[in-house]
Amino acid sequence: MKDLLLDAQKNKYAVGSFSIANMEMVRGVLQAVEETKSPAILQIAEVRLNHSPLEIIGPLMVAAAKNSAMPVAVHFDHGKTKEKICQALEIGFTSVMFDGSGYPFPENKKLSAEILAEARKHGAALECEIGCVGGSEDGSEDIAMNCSDPAQAVEFCDEVAMDALAVAIGNAHGNYKEEPKLRFDILEKIRDSVAVPLVLHGGTGISENDFRKCVELGICKINIATATFDSVEREVREAYTAGAINGYYDLQTAETRGAYKNAMKHIKIFGCAGKA
């Protein structure tokens, strides 16, 4: 992930980091990545492991990335526990996120430094978060939004040698209840204050223009989760309605197609097509 994001930072585009839940979604994303010759990140969040156990989905993700013709990183998103983060590293994930946003700032720094040491043992990159992105990764909690403090971003990056920093600028996980009002002023201040590549979570529902402005102002990695799941579900429903599913393999094809369509859409918006 570190190499992908540094190139994105240098050449002013964003890498799509796509959450997946099964083999069909992995295949759909990678089909789009290979057709567009894009770098990409496959990711899964800790909160989703009840549905996609890490010991099963993790090796699949790593194998898919290794076999792709394009540069693909494998990322553990919103890691909450050291146990699961270390398990992802042992499986071969090339980066992990420690989400310490629920802790007081000093504790977030301390715990992030401990996770950084584990990541470095495996040659992996670390993403951290300051402030608090609204909602929760699986939609089960209504977590309040708390925009990142540019001064804390500087302090955090000075003390913890992370490889990517997730910022909260009015973005939220899941489907937005109203049009998001992103704090581009905060993003610009953070970009001007730290050298580390910046990450935007809660990408579902942000407009194309706002995505592009985020990239212009320093966002190098954009997480897409809910939009992928919604696209897969919609594609399956439409296929059933059209009478196009006559067996399990038709269902697999519809799932793959849903993930593919969503990845293609966002790759074009993020400006990463042809950047592999």
196: which 2 tokens?
């580390």
* Cβ-based neighbours of 193, under 8 Å, separated by 6 or more: 150, 153, 154
125: which 2 tokens?
């990159």
Report d(CA 28, CA 181) in Å as an integer.
31
Report d(CA 45, CA 2) in Å as an integer.
19
Which helix (H) or strand (E) element contains residue 166?
strand 164-167
Which of 105-119, 152-166, 200-214, 235-249 shows the lowest mean pLDDT across its residues?
A: 200-214
* Cβ-based neighbours of 56, under 8 Å, separated by 6 or more: none
The radius of gyration of the chain from alpha carbons, rounded to an integer in Å, stands at: 18
| pLDDT tens-place string over residues 47-105 | 999 999 999 999 999 999 999 999 999 999 999 999 999 999 999 999 999 999 889 99
Mean pLDDT of 241-258: 98
Q: Which candidate, 172, 169, 270, places its Cα nearest to that of 221?
A: 270
- Please answer whether residues 111 and 101 qualify as being in contact, where contact means their C-beta atoms are separated by less than 8 angstroms: no
Per-residue pLDDT, 147: 86
Report d(CA 122, CA 126) in Å as an integer.
11
At position 115, the amino acid (one-letter code) is I
Report d(CA 96, CA 199) in Å as an integer.
13
Query: Looking at the domain assignment, is residue 67 inside a domain?
Result: yes
Query: Looking at the domain assignment, is residue 275 inside a domain?
Result: no
Give 123: exposed, middle or buried? Use CB within 10 Å, 0-12, 13-18, 19+: exposed
Per-residue pLDDT, 144: 44
Q: Which residues are catalytic?
A: 77
Per-residue pLDDT, 143: 41
Per-residue pLDDT, 74: 98
**Which residue segment(s) compose the domain that 244 sits in?**
2-270
Report d(CA 132, CA 155) in Å as an integer.
17
| pLDDT tens-place string over residues 173-188 | 554 556 678 999 999 9
Query: Looking at the domain assignment, is residue 170 inside a domain?
Result: yes
| pLDDT tens-place string over residues 181-208 | 899 999 999 999 999 999 999 877 789 9
Per-residue pLDDT, 174: 54
Query: Looking at the domain assignment, is residue 276 inside a domain?
Result: no
Per-residue pLDDT, 140: 45
Report d(CA 32, CA 136) in Å as an integer.
27
pTM of the model as a whole: 0.91
Helix, strand, coil in percent for the chain, rounding step 5: 50, 15, 35
Number of domains in the chain: 1
Query: Looking at the domain assignment, is residue 228 inside a domain?
Result: yes
| Distances from the Cα of 29 to the Cα of 52, 94, 197, 232, angstroms | 17, 18, 23, 11
- Please answer whether residues 164 and 199 qualify as being in contact, where contact means their C-beta atoms are separated by less than 8 angstroms: yes
Q: Taking the chain, what is the end-to-end CA distance rounded to the nearest angstrom?
A: 13
- Indicate which CATH number applies to the domain containing 14: 3.20.20.70
